[in-house]
Structure 1
């Protein structure tokens, strides 16, 4: 019993070196007392088999453990295949090809670890798409050309990097001023600032267009990336400067300003909305014309009514004077007249009624008809 107490709590490690940090635990005893004839199987690989035991101060151990460690080993036997890469009772089976360093369990042939890019007990399964490395525990950065996944072993892009990326892992963007495949393209000097590192596109300086600023503005356009339209108000209908939109010979009256888009009468109009304002101007002009004609017609009708009233009043005044001049005559007519001119007066009534009263006046053998008119 005492010998077991001294033996209790031991550990067995495997290692390829004598450094403690390189040891791989194979077996740990406890808390019960071990048998003195002890056997175990270690499914590990190593050059050294290390037996270790301890009693540390301040650590409480089971009651059956001896307080002092004495190691007395009569015999230590290590059984296994004499060469690596094989397993089985007779060590005649080859370990799976994708086992790390081609080492496997000497009993069942399972891999002690897999080569980069493989997984599974027998390391017969490749890493899932987008993963790589030992244990498939690393993720592809995703910048391979044509969005192809990276190499499952080391994460490299087999067909190179996508435009704008560089480095073995295609995880570094192009430096400022460069773009494209392998960062071999140089940004145009006509870019306002640096270009896009993938395709070289940029905002062009005034007067230039296209993604790489290689083309001049189309006539009639100007400015940054040629995004503005000329005002169309240049003298002699000349096109404006492609750089700032100014007119070479100046502006048509009454336009002014750098780009001749300021109308001194109507204010500044944006060229992009000139059609809308022209439409409004035409509509307003038509409306004003119609209103003018309507006012002219009304004034004409009113003036006609006023003139008619004036004429009516004049006629009424004439009739009144005529009536006064005939009252004293009393119906006596000259002998030689066979007829009398009839004076007819009318006011604004649409019709008039004639009342006739017959008075036959005979004087010196002449017969006359005296007619009196009255208006309603």
Structure 2
């Protein structure tokens, strides 16, 4: 009779494995021939496996009939099912009481401290921390003598400020030391406001973080407006080109005026226009453009002859 029962049990188990090969099946051969097919996350006495295992230690597996955790619970959960957390004021295996090392700024529930149910670390009141003794202001807050009511400014790198004074070691660019709670004054920029704005068109204002200007005063280069225009350039943002200054001299970087005379017949002060004499099919003509002839200039026309021709022209 016993052999017949065992044979039936084995046959049923094989059939179950064939029909559900991916399921982690646990077979319990009892004297009555009862089978349990629950996976590691479930249990059930009526072979329905509808109940979930609790927070068992060393994994989710529990007893397939009772749901008890054979190795105990994970920290913070009650035995034997490991489905309920420790009562308030207790932690670990739920026999240890919160309070060791907890300071006056820890939170309390009724007459006892509250703590992390797994580690026993204290829970701090708002603005207190950052460690579990709750004896110091949390990062981002200061003024221990006044319940850590102060809020840190823009400390460089997101570092915490001094827990008593609120002072930062360094400020993020654009903020005044020592609290780093006010923007740099107009005309200053950068880390701890040590940079001085350049010749911005809206002087003395510049970007308080980068120092960049939206536009420069004449004679200075973008974006900081601290460097003069390159030789050969002048004006607002150095966007204009110098004229034909004599001896290839650089023009004034603000207004473009040449320091001396102009090349050829170009007119001062900008030396970018004027009368120039050119030859065109043996007829002398006068052009008032950039001074560039469309045909070869007659080499016999020197500056003295040009002045003479102009004088004759004025006489009639």
Instruction: Name the TM-score class by shorter chain.
Output: 0.3 to 0.5
Give 1 or 2: higher helix fraction: 1
TM-score of the pair, normalised by structure 2: 0.40
Find the structure with the greater CA-based Rg. Answer: 1
Q: TM-score, normalising length from structure 1?
A: 0.35
